[in-house]
């Protein structure tokens, strides 16, 4: 499944509690904001934070994002990656303040910002008034290849994905979308490591003292003999796929990108089907269009976000999506979701 998935883009996170034999992992998402265009008294601009193994990935950072983070007590210091969908103000104007706050949290490890073409110039302009950061800011602009993310004790390691990377935790990929400025959709594939088989290790006469390292994906030369992870592990198990799509028309290539996602987070700028002309003009989506993508992309669950400021109560339009895709949730600020391996 993973190789089919990677054919369609580059791969992102959610708040998820995973309990398997011998391990307890946390994988969670929190919607920090669900608005588009401008912040409202009860709705911050669309942003989402993902937590996994104690580290965090932030998606978009509009005005007020860090206020929501403080209200929801998500923390700042553990943010290792910030994924920006595009450079419109409602998705980036909170970035300078957040980066400054992260610096004030005693963080010294690098922070990586991923975004579309032009993101480097925009970020450098936004932070030009800040004289000093105690950490390095790395920028990855418009990645064309999938990225392999390994979670470390003090951050995340990012490199180009290759099939030989058996110790990656997350595979991140991107897709070019159709908006009025370059815009990226994000996929996050959270790998589930293969099952360990001690009887297989004994069959291959693998020394016990290197079992753990092989489980972690290392290739080890011991006493002039090479030991590989497949000598102690079973087949790759199905992981978790999270897709995040916002600020776009429902173009066909999105279907392949989101195919069989466990959670599809998608913009729903307009709830009323009568707003189709607005959606086409402004290159956004209706609730019903997002639901059609969810249905045709065979996803498990649709979570709608990025609501127009003129739409006071998105719940009133829920049936416009549910009549097409029943497992639809209308997001709200502070919404939390836990995912589990099946």
9: pLDDT strictly greater than 80: no
Q: pLDDT digits over 45-59, tens only? A: 999 999 999 999 999
Task: Confirm or deny that 222 is annotated as ligand binding.
Answer: no
284 marked ligand binding residue: no
Contacts for 186 with CB less than 8 Å, ≥ 6 apart:
11, 12, 59, 83, 85, 172, 173, 174, 175, 243, 244
Q: What is the pLDDT of residue 50?
A: 97
- Average pLDDT on 92-113 reads 95
122-153 tens-digit pLDDT: 999 999 989 899 999 999 999 999 999 999 98
User: What is the arithmetic mean of pLDDT over 188-195?
Assistant: 88
pTM of the model: 0.86
165 labeled binding residue? no
Quote the percentage of the chain above a pLDDT of 70.
91
173, pLDDT greater than 50: yes
Mean pLDDT on 280-300: 98
Which pLDDT score, from 0 to 100, does residue 341 have?
82
Domain limits, the chain: 2-194+235-335
Q: Which one has a higher pLDDT value, 218 or 114?
A: 114
Which pLDDT belongs to residue 167? Answer: 66
Most confident of 155-169, 203-217, 235-249, 282-296: 282-296
Enter the CATH code of domain 2-194+235-335. 3.60.15.10
pLDDT digits (tens, 9 = 90+) for 12-34: 333 333 344 444 456 899 999 99
Mean pLDDT of all residues in 168-182: 94
Average pLDDT over residues 243-272: 98
Q: What is residue 25's predicted lDDT score, i.e. its pLDDT?
A: 54
Tell me: is residue 86 an annotated ligand-binding position: yes
Task: Identify the band that residue 194 occupies on the pLDDT scale cut at 50, 70 and 90.
Answer: confident
Q: Which residues sit opposite 187 in a β-bridge?
A: 173, 243
In Å, what is the CA distance from 300 to each residue of 7, 297, 331? 20, 9, 16
Q: Which residues are catalytic?
A: 90
Average pLDDT along the chain: 90
Reported as a pLDDT band with limits 50, 70 and 90, residue 6 is: very low
Which residue's entry shows tokens 């291959």?
A: 204
Average the pLDDT over each of 40-49, 83-92, 227-236, 278-287 and give the range with the smallest value: 227-236
pLDDT of residue 164: 60
pLDDT reported for residue 170: 94
84 pLDDT above the threshold of 60: yes
Residue 236 is predicted with a pLDDT of 81
pLDDT recorded at residue 22: 40
* Residue range 210-227: mean pLDDT, rounded: 89
| Band of residue 111 on the pLDDT scale cut at 50, 70, 90 | very high
Q: Quote the pLDDT of residue 21.
A: 40
Q: Is 88 annotated as a binding residue?
A: yes
Give the mean model confidence (pLDDT) for residues 314-334: 98
């Amino acid at each position: 499944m993973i190789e089919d998935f990677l054919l369609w883009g580059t791969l992102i996170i959610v708040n998820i509690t995973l309990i398997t034999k011998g391990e307890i992992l946390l994988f969670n998402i929190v919607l920090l904001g669900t608005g588009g265009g401008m912040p409202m008294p009860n709705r911050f601009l669309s942003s989402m934070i993902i937590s996994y193994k104690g580290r965090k990935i932030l998606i978009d950072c509009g005005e007020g994002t860090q206020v929501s983070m403080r209200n929801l007590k998500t923390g700042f210091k553990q943010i290792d990656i910030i994924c920006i969908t595009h450079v419109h103000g409602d998705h980036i104007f909170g970035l300078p303040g957040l980066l400054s706050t992260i610096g004030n949290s005693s963080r010294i490890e690098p922070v990586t910002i991923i975004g579309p073409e032009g993101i480097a110039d925009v970020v450098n302009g936004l932070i030009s008034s800040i004289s000093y950061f105690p950490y390095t800011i790395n920028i990855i602009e418009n990645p064309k290849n999938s990225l392999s993310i390994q979670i470390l004790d003090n951050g995340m390691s990012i490199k180009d994905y290759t099939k030989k990377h058996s110790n990656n935790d997350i595979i991140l990929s991107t897709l070019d979308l159709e908006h009025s400025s370059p815009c990226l959709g994000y996929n996050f594939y959270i790998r589930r490591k293969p099952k360990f088989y001690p009887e297989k290790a004994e069959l291959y006469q693998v020394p016990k003292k290197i079992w753990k390292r092989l489980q972690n994906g290392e290739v080890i030369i011991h006493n002039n003999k090479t030991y590989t992870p497949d000598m102690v592990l079973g087949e790759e198990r199905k992981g978790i796929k999270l897709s995040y799509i916002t600020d776009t028309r429902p173009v066909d290539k999105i279907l392949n990108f989101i195919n069989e996602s466990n959670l599809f987070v998608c913009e729903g700028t307009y709830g009323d089907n009568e707003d189709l002309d607005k959606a086409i003009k402004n290159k956004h989506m209706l609730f019903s269009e997002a639901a059609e993508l969810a249905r045709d992309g065979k996803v498990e669950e649709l979570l709608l976000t990025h609501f127009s400021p003129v739409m006071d109560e998105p719940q009133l339009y829920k049936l416009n999506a549910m009549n097409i895709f029943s497992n639809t949730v209308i997001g709200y600020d502070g919404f939390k979701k836990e995912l589990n391996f099946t």
